[in-house]
């Protein structure tokens, strides 16, 4: 198979050599005494609870389901007693959750109908296994099946992109996800997905720096003619659908809509391994591999964590003591700080980041050498030398100033807009057709503009506020997208 090498042509930024990146070590976390399992996890709506307080449940047993709405079943991840059903605030939304007290056993209940001879299963049987396992809820568009697990059907999928590029400052390790027999299981997962979405062309996008893995996957896929292998630079935000799809497929993206709305499904490598687990091993989605990133951990390991495990259960064992740390889930660039350690890890969790709190004011920070700081400009020594232990904390390290029109935000913007210009329109409340023409609704919220701003302006935040005000005034994204794209699954998308 030919390996295709492609460049990320517009904007972006490569985060290099950050201290606190996860190492290639995996540990199994002990099952906590109590878990809290949200009834909305991943793609789709909240499901209805079907268990009651006092009821004994098994790991892998469905505790919430809604066959009439776009969703996927939710399972108990442990064996134990249902203590209560309550409302919690999870990822900025209020959802119902089931609290379960563990009985201490580790066994889980397999899915009915799974088979190591998966190729003898019908397409319908495979789709049922994927749906009943909860795997169909993963990633931004879900996995289409004959059930209501996505906004489109399997027959409407034209392209499937599976990615493992690692563009964030802290990433889950592909060497951990695909160690030993996991590589061949991953390839089997691809073949299972091909059977479900038989009309689709498949693309596999891998970090070009991981040449050994590329060669191994190439060897395993040598006789497969329905998939193309791409080696891409780990340049943020290439793993976002809005950037990945134009890069791989060369087609425009309808900003503000799902990849599924244009017939594309983008899946992470961990999702594909869990497709294998569900169909071949009969394992429901009750566990995730989560990497500990940042300098706040005693050791930057990968952990196998049961869904519903509280962040406090993790920090009490692995977070460094005698310092204050800020916790962020999955993305340091796009996600907010976690406000409570009682929040549960769900089935979309992949990286838990701990950064040292630093609120000390640094006057004229730019005058310092900064050999361990990350800098887009040449203001710091790190930009002139290779540093293998760059550090980051929660301090903005500098004084707020007015925009100096340096153009850095324009350079890194992956969707080719002029962030500082749009930001000025928003701050002056000039929200009209002109700012729409400048592409305010093309912003995908990657936050690179704020990251590189030499004046410490939160450019991305101001642009989001402008989008919200325009939408409130009924000047929404659909007015500039829908007339120019043949979108599918639109009614289902708007009902989510």
Beta partners for 35? 100
CB-count exposure of residue 60 (10 Å: 0-12, 13-18, 19+): buried
Are residue 64 and residue 123 in the same domain, yes or no?
Answer: no
Whether 385 is in a domain gets the answer no
Are residue 176 and residue 88 in the same domain, yes or no?
Answer: no
Are residue 288 and residue 184 in the same domain, yes or no?
Answer: yes
- pLDDT of the residue at 495: 86
Are residue 402 and residue 299 in the same domain, yes or no?
Answer: no
- pLDDT of the residue at 388: 66
- pLDDT of the residue at 490: 92
Output the 3-class SS for the chain.
CCEEECCCCCCCECCCCECCCCCCCEEECCCCCEEEEECCCCCCCCCEECCCCCCEECCCCEEEECCCCCCCCEECCCCEEEEEEEEEEECCEEEEEEEEEECCCCCCCCCCCCCCCHHHCCHHHHHHHHHHHCHHHCCCCCCCCCCCCCCCCHHHCCEEEEEECCCCCCCCCHHHHCCCCHHHHHHHHHHHHHHHCCCCEEEEEEECCCHHHHHHHHHHCCCCCCEEEEEECCCECCCCHHHHHHHHHCCCCCCCCCHHHHCEEEEEHHHHHHHHHHHHHCCCCCEEEEEEECCCECCCCEEEEECCCEHHHHHHHHECCCCCEEEEECCCCCCCECCCCCCECCCCCCEEEEEECCCCCCCCHHHCCCCCCCCCCCCCHHHHCCCCCECCCCCCCCCCCCCCCCCHHHHHCCCCCCHHHHHHHHHCCCCCHHHHHCCHHHCCCCCHHHHHCCCCCCHHHHHHHHHHHHHHCCCCCHHHHHHHCCCCCHHHHHCC
Core vs surface per residue 336-355: b (16+ CB within 10 A) or e: eebeeeebbbbbbbbbbbbb
Phi, psi of 411 (to 5 degrees): -65, -40
d(CA 250, CA 8) in angstroms, rounded, equals: 11
- pLDDT of the residue at 478: 82
Are residue 200 and residue 307 in the same domain, yes or no?
Answer: yes
Are residue 161 and residue 171 in the same domain, yes or no?
Answer: yes
Per-residue pLDDT of the chain (496 residues; tens, 9 = 90+): 778 888 777 899 999 888 999 999 999 999 999 999 999 999 999 999 999 999 999 999 999 999 999 999 999 999 999 999 999 998 888 999 999 999 999 999 999 999 999 999 999 999 999 999 999 999 999 999 999 999 999 999 999 999 999 999 999 999 999 999 999 999 999 999 999 999 999 999 999 999 999 999 999 999 899 999 999 999 999 999 999 999 999 999 999 999 999 999 999 999 999 999 999 999 999 999 999 999 999 999 999 999 999 999 999 999 999 889 999 999 999 988 898 899 999 999 999 999 988 777 666 555 555 566 777 776 665 566 666 677 777 777 777 889 999 999 999 999 999 999 999 999 999 998 899 999 999 999 999 999 999 898 999 999 999 999 998 887 878 878 878 899 999 999 988 8
Domain interval for residue 466: 396-479
d(CA 394, CA 406) in angstroms, rounded, equals: 24
- pLDDT of the residue at 477: 82
- pLDDT of the residue at 375: 75
Question: Looking at the 3D structure of the chain, how many domains does it have?
Answer: 3
pTM of the full predicted structure?
Answer: 0.94
Residue 91 is part of a domain; what is its CATH number? Answer: 2.40.50
Whether 373 is in a domain gets the answer no
CB atoms within 10 A of CB 131: 24
Whether 386 is in a domain gets the answer no
Whether 490 is in a domain gets the answer no
CB-count exposure of residue 428 (10 Å: 0-12, 13-18, 19+): exposed
Are residue 98 and residue 38 in the same domain, yes or no?
Answer: yes
CB atoms within 10 A of CB 125: 15
Are residue 1 and residue 79 in the same domain, yes or no?
Answer: no
Are residue 41 and residue 156 in the same domain, yes or no?
Answer: no
Residue carrying structure tokens 């962020």: 328
- pLDDT of the residue at 369: 53
| Helix 459-472 vs helix 419-427: crossing angle, to nearest 10 | 60
Looking at 68, 102, 136, the residue that finishes a domain is: 102
Are residue 237 and residue 319 in the same domain, yes or no?
Answer: yes
């Amino acid at each position: 198979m030919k390996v295709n090498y492609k460049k990320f042509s517009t904007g972006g930024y490569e985060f290099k050599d950050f201290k606190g990146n996860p190492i290639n070590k995996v540990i199994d976390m002990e099952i906590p005494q109590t878990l809290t399992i949200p009834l909305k996890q991943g793609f789709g709506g909240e499901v209805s609870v079907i268990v009651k307080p006092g009821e004994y449940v098994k790991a892998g047993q469905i505790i919430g389901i809604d066959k009439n709405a776009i969703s996927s079943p939710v399972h108990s991840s442990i064996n134990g007693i249902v203590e209560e059903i309550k409302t919690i605030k999870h990822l900025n939304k209020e959802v119902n959750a089931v609290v379960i007290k563990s009985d201490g056993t580790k066994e889980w209940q397999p899915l009915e109908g799974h088979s190591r001879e998966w190729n003898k299963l019908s397409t319908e049987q495979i789709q049922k296994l994927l749906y009943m396992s909860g795997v169909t809820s993963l990633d931004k568009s879900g996995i289409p099946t004959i059930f209501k697990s996505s906004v489109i059907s399997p027959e409407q999928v034209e392209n499937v992109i599976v990615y493992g590029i690692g563009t964030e400052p802290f990433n889950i390790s592909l060497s951990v996800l695909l160690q030993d027999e996991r590589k061949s299981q991953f390839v089997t997962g691809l073949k299972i997905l091909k059977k479900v979405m038989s009309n689709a062309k498949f693309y596999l996008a891998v970090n070009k720096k991981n040449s050994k893995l590329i060669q191994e996957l190439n060897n395993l896929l040598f006789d497969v003619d329905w998939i193309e292998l791409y080696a891409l630079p780990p340049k943020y935000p290439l793993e976002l659908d809005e950037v990945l799809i134009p890069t791989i497929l060369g087609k425009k993206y309808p900003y503000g809509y799902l990849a599924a709305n244009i017939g594309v499904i983008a899946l992470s490598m961990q999702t594909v391994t869990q497709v294998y687990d569900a169909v071949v091993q009969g394992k429901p989605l009750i566990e995730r591999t989560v990497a500990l990133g940042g300098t706040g951990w005693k050791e930057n390991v990968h952990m196998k964590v049961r869904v519903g495990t509280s962040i406090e259960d993790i920090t009490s064992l692995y977070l460094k003591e005698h310092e204050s740390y800020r916790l962020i889930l999955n993305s340091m660039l796009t996600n907010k700080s976690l406000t409570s350690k009682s929040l549960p890890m769900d089935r979309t969790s992949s990286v838990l980041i701990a950064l040292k709190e630093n609120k000390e004011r640094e006057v004229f920070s730019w005058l310092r050498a900064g050999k361990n700081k990350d800098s887009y400009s040449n203001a710091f020594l790190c930009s002139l030398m290779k540093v293998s232990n760059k550090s980051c904390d929660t301090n903005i390290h500098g004084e707020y100033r007015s925009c100096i029109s340096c153009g850095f935000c324009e350079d890194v913007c992956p969707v080719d807009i002029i962030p500082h210009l749009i930001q000025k329109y928003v701050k002056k409340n000039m929200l009209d057709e002109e700012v729409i023409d400048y592409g305010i609704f093309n912003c995908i919220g990657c936050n690179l503009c704020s990251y590189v701003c030499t004046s410490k302006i939160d450019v991305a935040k101001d642009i989001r506020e402008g989008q919200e005000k325009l939408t409130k005034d009924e000047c929404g994204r659909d007015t500039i997208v829908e007339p120019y794209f043949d979108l599918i699954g639109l009614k289902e998308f708007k009902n989510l």
